[in-house]
Amino acid sequence: MGLFRFERRTRGGFIYMYLAKLWGRLFFGPKVTEPAETFLGDKNDELEKAGEELAAVVKDLYGGRSLRIRAVDGGSTNAEEIELTALGNAYYDIERFGLSFVAAPRHADMLFVTGPVTRNLERAVKTTYEAAPHPCIVVAVGDGACTGGIWNGSYAVVGAVENVIPVHVKIPGDPPTPADIIRGVLHALKNRN
Amino acid sequence: MNPFILTAIQAVTVLALAPFATGLVRWCKARLQGRKGASPLLPYVSYATLLKKEMVISPVASWVFHVAPFVVLASSVFATLALPLVASDGAFAGLGNFILIASTLSLGSVFLVLGGLDPGSAFGGMGSSRELTLAALVEPSVIAVFAAFSVVSGGSTVSQMLAAAGMGVLAHPGLFLTLIGFVFVLLAENARYPVDNPATHLELTMVHEAMVLEYSGPYLAMLEYASSLKLTLFSLLLANFVLPAPLASTGAGPAMALAAVLGAVAKVGVAAALLALLESSMAKMRFYRMQEYMTIAFLAAFGGLVLVLV
Amino acid sequence: MPFMLSGITISLIGVLVAGALPLVWRNLAGHRAAQAVLAIAAACGAFASIAFLAAGTGPSTVFAPASIPALRFEINGLSAVFLAIVNAVACLCAIFAFRYVEKYRQVYDMPSLDLGVALFIFGMQAVLLSTSVISFMLFWEMMSLSSFVLVMADRQAASRKAALLYFGMAQFGAAAILAGFFLISGGKPLADFAAIAGMAAALPPAKITLAFILFFLGFGSKAGLVPLHIWLPEAHPQAPSHVSALMSSAMLKIAVYGFLLATTSLLPPLASGFGLSVVIVGLVTAVFGIVHASVEHDIKRAIAWHSIENLGLIFAMLGISMFAARNGMPLLSEIGLAAALFHAINHAIFKSGLFLSTGVIMSQIHTRDIEEMGGMAKRMPYFTAAICALTLSGAALPPFGTFYDEWLFVQGLVGHLAGSGPIVLAVLLSTLAVVAFCGGLAVFAMTKLFALPCLGQPRSEEAAHMKEPPASMNGPILFFAAAGLLAGVFSARILRTIGFADLIHADTFLSVATPKGSVAPMAAFALMAAVILGLVAARRVLGQRRIRTYHTWDCGQPITPRMEYTATAFSAPIRFFFRSIVGIRKTVVVTQTGSGPLLVKREMTLTGRSFWLSRVYEPLALAMHKLGDNARRIQSGSIQLYLLFILIALGATLLIAV
Sorting pLDDT into bands at 50, 70 and 90, what band is C513?
A: very low
- Amino acid identity, position C654: L
Listed residue (C79, C53, C183, C186) closest to C131, CA to CA: C79
Question: φ and ψ at B194, to 5 degrees?
Answer: -85, 15
> Which element (helix H / strand E) includes A117?
strand A117-118
Assess contact for C253 and C342: CB atoms under 8 A: no
Chain mean position to CA C328: 31
Q: Find, in chain A, the residue whose alpha carbon is nearest to that of C556.
A: A124
DSSP state of B147: H
Name the minimum distance, in Å, from the CA of B207 to any CA of chain A: 12
pLDDT computed for residue C560 by the predictor: 86
The CA-based dihedral angle spanning residues C638, C640, C645, C650, taken in that order and rounded to the nearest 10 degrees: 150
Residues of A in contact with C548 (CB under 8 A): 133-134
pLDDT by position in tens, chain B (length 310): 788 888 999 999 999 999 999 999 999 999 888 888 888 888 998 898 888 888 999 999 999 999 999 999 999 999 999 998 888 888 888 788 888 899 999 999 999 999 999 998 888 899 999 999 999 999 999 999 999 988 888 778 888 888 876 666 667 788 888 999 999 999 998 888 888 887 777 777 788 888 898 999 899 999 999 999 999 999 999 998 888 878 888 877 888 888 889 999 999 999 999 999 988 888 888 888 888 899 999 999 999 999 888 7
**Helix then strand then coil, % of chain A, to nearest 5:** 50, 15, 35
- Amino acid identity, position B282: M
pLDDT computed for residue C514 by the predictor: 37
DSSP state of C75: E
Q: HSE (CB half, 13 Å, CA atoms) of B203? A: 17
Chain mean position to CA B226: 9
The per-residue pLDDT for range C342-366, each reduced to its tens digit, is 999 999 999 999 999 999 999 999 8
The CA-based dihedral angle spanning residues C26, C27, C31, C34, taken in that order and rounded to the nearest 10 degrees: -50
pLDDT computed for residue C504 by the predictor: 46
Q: Is the pLDDT of residue A53 over 80?
A: no
Q: Is the pLDDT of residue A62 over 70?
A: no
Mutate to test the interface with B, among A81, A106, A136, A137 (most CBs of B within 10 A): A106
Contact B77 C549 (CB under 8 A): no
Mutate to test the interface with B, among C335, C414, C423 (most CBs of B within 10 A): C414
Q: Give the three-state DSSP class for B56.
A: strand
Assess contact for C323 and C413: CB atoms under 8 A: no
Residues of C in contact with B57 (CB under 8 A): 547-550
Is residue C658 classed exposed, middle or buried when 0-12, 13-18 and 19+ CB atoms within 10 A define those classes?
exposed
How far apart, in whole angstroms, are the C-alpha atoms of residue B103 and residue B233? 15
Give the CA distances from residue B24 to residues B39, B41, B50, B265, in Å, rounded to whole numbers and listed in that order.
8, 8, 20, 11
Measured at the CA of C12, the angle between CA C244 and CA C252, to 5 degrees, comes to: 30
Assess contact for A140 and A74: CB atoms under 8 A: no
Assess contact for B264 and B244: CB atoms under 8 A: no
pLDDT computed for residue C583 by the predictor: 78
- pTM comes to 0.92
| Chains touching C (3+ CB pairs < 8 Å) | A, B
Contact C455 B62 (CB under 8 A): yes
- Amino acid identity, position A22: L
Contact B58 C381 (CB under 8 A): no
Give the CA distances from residue C236 to residues A175, C246, C251, C322, C640, in Å, rounded to whole numbers and listed in that order.
66, 10, 11, 30, 50
Name the minimum distance, in Å, from the CA of A152 to any CA of chain C: 22
| Chains touching B (3+ CB pairs < 8 Å) | A, C
Residues of chain A above pLDDT 70, percent: 78
Measured at the CA of C516, the angle between CA C514 and CA C522, to 5 degrees, comes to: 50
The per-residue pLDDT for range A128-175, each reduced to its tens digit, is 999 998 888 899 999 989 998 888 888 999 888 988 999 988 898 888
Q: Find, in chain C, the residue whose alpha carbon is nearest to that of A107.
A: C553
| Chains touching A (3+ CB pairs < 8 Å) | B, C
The per-residue pLDDT for range C99-138, each reduced to its tens digit, is 898 888 888 888 889 999 999 999 999 999 999 999 999 9
Listed residue (C332, C343, C492) closest to C415, CA to CA: C332
> Which element (helix H / strand E) includes A100?
strand A99-101
Assess contact for C553 and A131: CB atoms under 8 A: yes
Contact C550 A128 (CB under 8 A): no
Residues of B in contact with A133 (CB under 8 A): 53-56, 216-217
